[in-house]
Amino acid sequence: MRASFLAICLGLYGLPALAQFTDSTRHHLRLQASGNLNRAKNITSYLFANEGRFSLRSRKTTLNTMAAWVYGELGSTLTNNDLITTVDFNIYPDTAGLYYWGLANYTTSYSLRIRNQLQSGVGVAYNFFNKPNAWLNLSEGILYETSSLITGNNYFDTYQTVRNSLRLSYKFLVKETISFSGMHFLQNAFNNRNDYIIRSVSNFGVKINKWITLGTMLTYNQLKRTGAQNLLFTYGLTAERYF
């Protein structure tokens, strides 16, 4: 549990802010701790998922720093030790709804057989809705990727590629208490149609006070090149503050 708490303090990851920046709020902090535990007669399994995000916004730009760590064991067998960190920025022109983005992303994942993966790229995004109770966004861009993977028979696969990155994001609030949100990626390599990455995160939350939300999270990842995938269902608390 100590390692899980440390990741909460250091990790910064989350969904984009939902139209709650104002002229007087320039910072957004979001910390999320979730997991599950199953103890039977002969075996114990557990999973910790810790996420967070810090955002800094000016009138024309937003800078986001993000990270997430997932750790799990089944009995004495390691199932997950997955870390992802991201730094990204948005630039908002005068065109309503349209903006430009850039990012750098690092991933290492035991469950997906990723030793190291670095992605960087740029693109455009469009907000179809950007209101206090409804946010819907579609993003398209180009990513350069360099990776070291573990494929069949424990073969080390080191390569570089260029990917198309398509992302759908949304968040909806009901009576400022119940929230539904998600972020879903499809990243296809241009030179190989059988080389693609799917990432999907869906959240459901119930706000219990001004800053704290009790919720569940469903996460699915698939990396076609290694043939690995995972499906995680966790529940826990999210702390969020604008200042």
pLDDT at 24: 58
Give the model confidence (pLDDT) of 126-156 as tens digits: 999 888 899 999 999 999 999 999 988 888 9
**Residue ranges, the chain, pLDDT below 70:** 1-25
pLDDT at 25: 62
Amino acid at residue number 174: V
pLDDT at 226: 94
pLDDT at 196: 96
Give the model confidence (pLDDT) of 156-165 as tens digits: 999 999 999 9
6: DSSP letter: H
CB 12 within 8 A of CB 32: no
Tokens of 130: 């950007």
Identify the CA nearest to 114 among candidates 180, 159, 68. Answer: 159
* Domains recognised in the chain with CATH numbers: 2-242 (2.40.160.40)
Angstrom CA distances, 194 to 153, 224, 243, stand at 19, 7, 45
Q: Virtual CA dihedral for 70, 74, 75, 78, nearest 10 degrees?
A: -50
> Distance between terminal CA atoms of the chain?
29
Angle at 149 between CA 147 and CA 151, to 5 degrees: 145
What is the Cα–Cα distance from 79 to 37, expressed in whole angstroms? 14
What is the Cα–Cα distance from 75 to 98, expressed in whole angstroms? 49
Secondary structure (3-state) at 3? helix
Secondary structure (3-state) at 116? strand
Pairing of strands 212-223, 27-39: unpaired
pLDDT at 7: 34
pLDDT at 58: 86
